[in-house]
Amino acid sequence: MTSFLSFSAISAHPPTFSGASFRPRSLSPRLFKSCVKCTYAEAGLSSDSWSAPIDIVADVKSERVVVLGGNGFVGSAICKAAISNGIEVVSVSRSGRPNFQDSWLDQVTWVTGDVFYLNWDEVLLGATAVVSTIGGFGNEEQMKRINGEANVTAVNAAKDFGVPKFVLITVHDYNLPPFILSSGYFTGKRNAEAELLSKYPTSGVVLRPGFIYGKRKVNGIEVPLDLVGEPLDKIYDSAERFIRPLRSLPASDLILAPPVNVDDLALAVINAVKDDGFFGIFTIEQIKEAAAKMRV
């Protein structure tokens, strides 16, 4: 298998030290109180006869999301969706800001760094959620490190710092046989899921999409994955009742699992960030339902 990395926020080589240490800090979602004073007067009355001021105090939660791999295909869609929903965004990746132009890019804080060497105290300050899009291919050890260890490091850093929610993008298992699911790619991802759900049992979110389509930009060149994904998506929707019984067959989902629009995946992430009752493992169908809820 050709070795390559699909995520630029981590190093493919092991660190020179045995492990990262994080300074625990408790940090709850940022709540701001605003005081508004109102006065009322009837027409024709002097200022001396106005009623006494009424103090109104409101709690407003300000959301700040840290997206690991925010300059990638999925990560950039999540950043864009978050900005559109009024959420403050910090992206962390080894290459920093993307090399394409768009108006929403200026509203994101782009941090250049590797998750194994980050100053988490600075990155996570004020964060109400962390979203990880870390993942990639390579040899067995590289895939375990990229898909597993990097995400485990991020989960533990967020938990130690007191970030209340963590969203992890992994992958559908496609009903593959055990000997394939035991590869470094799937083992790493499932290890990361287990770590997340153990540290965030009531607020951790695992999204398992299949093939993700949309307009992907590679080195400034747009790759229209939607030309393949969108027609397939429509076919699956129209033939779902015929396809669903076949999906129980071994490895059948390599062909029969419906694709997911990258914008729908991003909206599902925003749903997870905003909804405190949104946690656990979400399938392809549930990802689409979550996105539909946000569109409404």
C-alpha span between 58 and 275 (Å, rounded): 20
Confirm if 64 and 90 have CB atoms less than 8 A apart: yes
- Give the CA distances from residue 65 to residues 82, 122, 161, 291, in Å, rounded to whole numbers and listed in that order: 8, 13, 14, 18
DSSP state of 79: H
**Token couple for 218:** 């590679």
C-alpha span between 143 and 162 (Å, rounded): 28
Strand 215-218 vs strand 221-224: parallel, antiparallel, or unpaired?
antiparallel
Q: How many residues does the chain have?
A: 296
DSSP state of 138: S
Query: Which amino acid, residue 51?
Result: S
- List of the chain residues with pLDDT < 50: 1-7, 12-51, 54, 56-61
Which pLDDT score is estimated for 7?
47
Letter string b/e over residues 204-230, b meaning 16 or more CB atoms within 10 A of that residue's CB: bbbbbbbbbbbebbeeeeeeebbeebe
For the segment 3-56, what is each residue's pLDDT rounded down to a tens digit?
333 445 655 444 333 333 333 333 333 333 333 333 334 444 444 444 455 454
Which pLDDT score is estimated for 40?
35
The structural domains of the chain, ordered by start, are 64-294 (3.40.50.720)
C-alpha span between 113 and 99 (Å, rounded): 16
Q: Rounded to a whole number, what is the distance in angstroms from the first to the last CA of the chain?
A: 43
Which pLDDT score is estimated for 215?
77
pTM: 0.77
C-alpha span between 293 and 14 (Å, rounded): 41
C-alpha span between 228 and 223 (Å, rounded): 11
For the segment 157-179, what is each residue's pLDDT rounded down to a tens digit?
999 999 999 999 999 988 888 88
Cβ neighbours, 10 Å, residue 293: 13
Cβ neighbours, 10 Å, residue 149: 22
Which pLDDT score is estimated for 100?
78
